[in-house]
Amino acid sequence: MSGGAPEPAGGRRPLGGRRDQGAGRPGVCRLPRGPRPGTVPALAGRASALVGLLDIAGGVLPRFRHSHTFAVAELLPAALGPFAAALSLSAGVLLLLLTRGLGQGRRRAWQGAVVLLPAGAAAQFAYRHSLLAVLLPLVLLVPLVCHRDRFTAPPGPGGRGRALAHLVLMGAGSLLLGLLVVNAHPGPLVDDPSLADRLTHVLYGLFGFEGPVHYRGDASWTVTFSLGALGLLTALTTLYLAVRPRHPAARRTGDDERRLRALLARHGAGNSLRHLALRRDRAVVFSPSGKAAVTYRVVAGVMLADGDPVGDAEAWPGAIERFMDEARAHSWTPAVIGCSETGIAVWHRETGLDALEPGDEAVMGSAAFPLAGRATRGTGGAGTGRGGREEKRGKREERRRGRAEGQGEGRIGRTS
């Protein structure tokens, strides 16, 4: 919401510096509005997937010999055709892999798309001789460059688990694409190889070896280059995910910890969970005034805050704003766990997050809270007494024994 002069009738604003310029005049051209800046990453991801599928189709299917641009492309070296087919196929596969990263606004995905789009267009022209396949990637490249400030997030998490899953899925996809490549050139085939021979040829080709299927002419080089490119992409992308960190490292310096301890010393009374903020696997963001802080950790792309901000309640909104800025910068999903009623109100007011109440927890000392007696009869038999009335209501009770330092043995109970 902002102030200013009222909008014209109908809610439309004429294009130009003045609102009444050209209004009501016949023949005035109104240019279409572009997408909202916040939707650019998602739209770029979808468009990248479409161009990637076209590049894959262009690299797999045999090229046309009677297109309008064939006279120009005929001047290119003959050996460029098989290489262009492999390049088009590789660019399409990589664009599909970058779709999610573009949708999340990640910088490296943007850099990869900016390189792959013109490379795929050049490969389509050299192999398919199609102007349409050249123009589509270049049309997508223009808004990507114009809205490059929307792609600032760092790379996402990796790890051996992600790498293994990627290897299985990418390997299966490469096997299917390899079968399409082998079967897409039936004319130059020598004899009629069986399905087992074709599968063997694909597997050998993914590892860079010659298989039992043979072709006449340039089709042999096209199939060999394409299968080798698929195998190389599978290996490199899996290795990239394997060496990338699984989770972002908690960025907390010694000065941050001293400031956090000072805030806890001044404002940490009355909340026994506040000192969880000092765990070494937590990162921290401070308010602009330094009077409040939010500690968090990142789990599966979720930026999980540890309950209420630490520090002066009046400075909580500033710390929450810094927390949300950090989540947007990394394309993380913000979430909070373990808030008080006051914290729920502040978080909801500042961020619009919804509140869920999964259950209540309590810590009781057995010496000060005996279960014997008339006053606590209902608590002692809540889960087991007389048929388990509370269990029938869907509640559950857990009890564990623990020993605190310098104190006797107590019980920790939880009812949910």
Indicate the SS3 state at residue 147: coil
* CA separation for the pair 82, 86 (Å, rounded): 6
Residue type, 328: R
Of 300, 285, 356, give the one whose Cα is nearest residue 333: 300
CA 104 to each of CA 23, 91, 159: distance values in angstroms, whole numbers, following the listed order: 39, 20, 19
State the pLDDT at residue 404: 43
Q: What angle do CA 150, 153, 155 make, to 5 degrees?
A: 140
* CA separation for the pair 113, 120 (Å, rounded): 10
Q: Which pair of structure tokens corresponds to residue 335?
A: 């979430």
* CA separation for the pair 352, 73 (Å, rounded): 57
State the pLDDT at residue 319: 92
State the pLDDT at residue 69: 47
Q: Which pair of structure tokens corresponds to residue 93?
A: 């596969």
* CA separation for the pair 303, 313 (Å, rounded): 21
Residue type, 320: I
Q: Which helix (H) or strand (E) holds 285?
A: strand 283-286
State the pLDDT at residue 271: 65
Q: What angle do CA 66, 70, 72 make, to 5 degrees?
A: 160
* CA separation for the pair 145, 64 (Å, rounded): 32
Q: Which pair of structure tokens corresponds to residue 1?
A: 């919401």
Q: Which pair of structure tokens corresponds to residue 42?
A: 């998602």
* CA separation for the pair 244, 369 (Å, rounded): 51
Residue 86, CB-side half-sphere exposure with 13 Å CA sphere: 23
Q: pLDDT tens-digit profile of 246-271?
A: 666 566 778 888 888 888 888 776 66
State the pLDDT at residue 114: 93
State the pLDDT at residue 19: 39
Ranges in the chain, pLDDT < 50: 1-32, 65-66, 69-71, 73, 383-387, 402-416
Q: Which helix (H) or strand (E) holds 286?
A: strand 283-286
